[in-house]
Structure 1
Amino acid sequence: MSYFAAVLMRSGDRWKGEEASLEGCESLDDLGDVLRDVAGDVRLLLIEQDDEYAAIVRLDDGEDEPRAFLSDGHAADEYPMAAVVAEELAEVGGDDLEDDEDAPPAHDSAPFGEADVVEDIGTPAVELIAMCEHEGTLPVDLLLAVCEKAGCGEVFEELRG
C-alpha cells in the first residue's frame, strides 16, 4: 500500500511544492517536523492513499503545533499513516461509537480533526465536511479542490504527475 504525500508551502502569494517522504513518521508531531523542514508562511502536508482517505496537516509560520484533518476515520483502522494522523484528533461532531458497547474497537467513518484547517485559504469547514460526505468524491478530488481554492492547484497537479 503506497501513499502520495506532498508539502505545499506559500511565501507571500507564491506557492511551491515537493513530494514528501513520511518514512519514520509515527506521530502528528513527526508530520509537523516534515513541515518544519521547509520555509513558508503557510505549509501544508497533503496525504492520499489508495482512494481511501485524504489528510491535511498544516503548520503556519510562528506556530508550534501542527493542525490536522482526516477525511475518513475508518481509514485509521487499516492504514498506518491515517492512524498516525487520527491518533491525537477528535472526531468532527463527536464520537458516535463511544457509547456503543457492542461496537468493535474502531474509528467512526466521520472526519477527524480540525475541519477549519484550510478555511482562511479558501475552503470553509462546512464545505470540507460536505466534500467528505459526498458520495463519489475521491480523496484526491478533495485535496485538489482545496488546493485550487488556495491558489496552488497547478502546483499540486504537477506533483501528482
Structure 2
Amino acid sequence: MSYVALALLGKGRARPGWLLEEVDLDGCESIDDVSDVLRDFDQPVRLLAVEQDDEYAVLARLDAAADQAAEPIRVFLSNGHAADDYPLAQLFADGLDEVGGDPLDGDEDAPAGAHDAAPFGDPQLLADLGMPATELIELAVHEGTLPADLIETVCERLGCLGEFEALRG
C-alpha cells in the first residue's frame, strides 16, 4: 500500500508563497510523531497532505504559533471508513480521538470501532487560507473526486499548483 505525503510550507504574510516537500511517515506511530515531522520545518504555516491508493486524503495543519501555545495538530480525513482499512489513516483517526476531533460515526449497524465513510475532523483548517469548510467537505464527498483531486484543488487554491504538479511528475 503506497502513499504520498507532502509538506506544504507557507512562508507567511511577509513573504508569500509555498514550498512543497515530500515527507516520509513510515516511522510515525502516533499523531505526535506526525506533529514532530511538521515541526522539523521552520515555516509559519505547515500543512501535510496525504493520499493513499486513491482511497482517502488527509490534510493536517500545525502552525508555528501552535508550537508555543501547545495547540494540537488539526486534521481532516476525507473518508472515515479508510481508518478501518489503512493503518496510516487509523493513525490520523486515533489522533483525532486524542485531540477531541469529531468523527461522524453515524452507522449504527457498523461493528464497534468502525468508522462511517463520511469525512471527519476539522474542515475549517484551511478556511483562513481561502478554502471554506463547506467546499472542503463537498470535495471530499463528491462522487468521482479522487483524493489526489482534493489535494490538487487545495494546492490550486493556495497558489502552489505548479509546485504540486512538479513533485507529482
Q: TM-score, normalised by structure 2?
A: 0.88
- The residue identity in structure 1 corresponding to 2:145 is T
| Moved beyond 3 Å, runs of 4+ | none
Task: Write the distance in 1 (CA, Å) between the matches of 2:16 and 2:65.
Answer: 18
Aligned position for 1:103: 110
- 1:119: Cα distance to partner? 1.1
Unmatched tracts of structure 1, length 5 or more: none
- The residue identity in structure 2 corresponding to 1:103 is A
Residue 45 of structure 2: which of 42, 61, 75 is its match? 42
Provide the aligned length of Structure 1 versus Structure 2: 157
- The question of 1:17 aligning with 2:51 is answered no
Percentage of pairs with the same residue: 54
The structure with more helix, counted as a fraction of residues:
2
1:88 aligned counterpart, secondary structure:
helix
- 1:27: Cα distance to partner? 1.4
- 1:91: Cα distance to partner? 4.1
1:69 aligned counterpart, secondary structure:
strand
1:79-158 residue pairs with structure 2 within 5 A?
A: 79-89=86-96, 90-91=101-102, 94-97=104-107, 100=108, 102-105=109-112, 106-158=114-166
- 1:88: Cα distance to partner? 2.8
* Deviation string, structure 1 residues 44-80 (Cα, Å, up to 9, x no partner): 1110000000001111111032111100001001111
Q: What do you get for the CA RMSD once the two structures are aligned? A: 1.3
Asked if the contact 1:91–1:110 (Cα under 8 Å) also holds between the matched residues in 2, the reply is no
Unmatched tracts of structure 2, length 5 or more: none
- The question of 1:26 aligning with 2:29 is answered yes
Q: TM-score, normalised by structure 1?
A: 0.92
Aligned position for 1:53: 56
